[in-house]
Amino acid sequence: MTDSFPMLSLEERDRRWKAARELMDAHGVDALLVFGDRDGSGSPLWATDHWLTNDRLGAYVLFPRDGEPIAHVWATNSMVDHMESVGRGETVWLAAADFRLGRSAEAILGTVAELGLERATFGVVGINRMAPFFVDGIVPYGTYAGLLEGLPGATFKDLGDEYSKLVNVRSPEVWELLRKSACSGELMCEAAIAAAKVGATDADVLAAIAAAGIRSGSWPWYTILADGDENLSWGAPSWIYRGGRPREIKSGDVLLLEIMPFYGIYETQQQLAIAVGEIDDEAERAAVVTRAAYDVGIEALAGGARTFGEVDEAMTAVIRDAGGWNLTPNIHTIPHAAVGALGPEEIRPEMKPYPDMGRSRNPAGGADLELRPGMVYAVQPNTVFGRRRVNIGGTVIVTDDGVEELNVIPNNLVRVGG
């Protein structure tokens, strides 16, 4: 798929808008009010608005049951970008008349009045938990309070969970975009492996990953990298947010990368582990156990498991029975409607100074989420023994016939010379 650059069709738009109208009918609402991420440009990690607009992120979308979605955007750049896309002949889902300037309560109230919906029932997406990153919702207090005050005759229903179920079942058209994203992820893994040399730095590895992703048409929105003989950190290298010198790679290091390319805002994940030279026996054992947990997860997704929680528990049991624990979730949906347990089941001696270092199970909820064809998962088991950790895995689509594993390279510990 390196030379293929798929895009979503108007048929996909119509399928989604039909599903959204059916959701409104099922819950007796007159319009959906879907809040995109509060960030000015929007975060691709959830992209609630993009599912309806296929446009720039961060819009507040008002979708009347008997009309088309109206995107309230934060600045005119979204409109100008749309105008240029139309001029280039690109397929766009919204018309020029479907945009409004301003993501404030005042702007939305103006559109509500324009459509005569002052006493309507609204299905709202974004006021409660949305993925593990937005545990209290993504709507600014002032915006929502202004809507409640300005629409005393209206009714508001939280439809966040119901909407997320629509978003999480991906169509065959979206599968093509995911395959493209995962293909970029494979190229990014190859670039990371080539850059992971003794004497190079973690910055060299990140630069190689970013270049490979962009050249292949994906956006490396965020990359996690932890490296060293012992390293339980999880996130970007500390010099990115604290300053300091990038870390030099040494023989005996294990590099743990979470690569997250986005193609057309569709994310895949690659959990790449690179062993540089000879590594510690605990890390070697962690690699074996982690791969066993991966196999169990794939088997559970392919047949037998009915819920997300069953898959999570089966993978976790492999690690627990081996005497290890997992720092990060062993599995989560993409996007994050359900996330597996993370953190130690009991406080480890080195963690005692931190009062809340306990295990968090399904911080995004979703243990009882029914497994359905079209859902996408990051199968990413990780095992910790002592202070050594190995994390592997990639992206998997559940199909009518089983599963489709989109990644190959990151599904095992990769070894390079030290």
Domain coordinates in residue numbering, the chain: 10-168, 172-416
In degrees and rounded to multiples of 5, residue 389 shows phi and psi of: -140, 145
Dihedral sign from CA coordinates of 109, 113, 117, 118 = positive
Neighbours of 361 (CB within 10 A): 18
CA 140 – CA 50 distance, rounded (Å):
19
Residue 22 three-state SS: helix
At residue 86, the pLDDT reads 96
Domain 172-416 class in CATH: alpha beta
Cβ atoms of 257 and 284 closer than 8 Å: no
pLDDT at 339: 86
Structure confidence at residue 51 (pLDDT) = 95
pLDDT (tens, 9 = 90+) of the chain, 418 residues, equals 678 999 999 999 999 999 999 999 999 999 999 998 865 555 666 788 999 999 998 899 999 999 999 999 999 999 999 999 999 999 999 999 999 999 999 999 999 999 999 999 999 998 887 666 666 778 888 999 999 999 999 999 999 989 988 999 999 999 999 999 999 999 999 999 999 999 999 999 999 999 999 999 999 988 999 999 988 888 889 999 899 999 999 999 999 999 999 999 999 999 999 999 999 999 999 999 999 999 999 999 998 789 999 999 999 999 999 999 999 999 999 987 788 888 777 767 777 787 777 666 555 567 888 999 999 999 999 999 999 999 999 999 999 989 999 999 999 999 999 7
Maximum pairwise Cα distance, the chain: 69
- What does 61-82 look like in DSSP terms, one character per residue? EEEETTS--EEEESSTHHHHHH
What pTM does this model have? 0.94
Could you tell me the fold of the domain covering 10-168? Answer: Creatine Amidinohydrolase; Chain A, domain 1 (3.40.350)
Does the fold of domain 172-416 match that of domain 10-168?
A: no
Closest listed residue to residue 223, CA positions, set 169, 272, 276, 285: 272
Question: In this structure, is the dihedral angle defined by the CA atoms of residues 172, 177, 180 and 186, taken in order, positive or negative?
Answer: negative
Residue 370 is encoded by which pair of tokens?
């029914």
Nearest to 260 by CA among 123, 175, 121, 380: 380
Comparing CA positions, the residue from 329, 8, 338 lying closest to residue 177 is 8
Rounded to whole angstroms, the Cα distance separating 410 from 189 reads 7
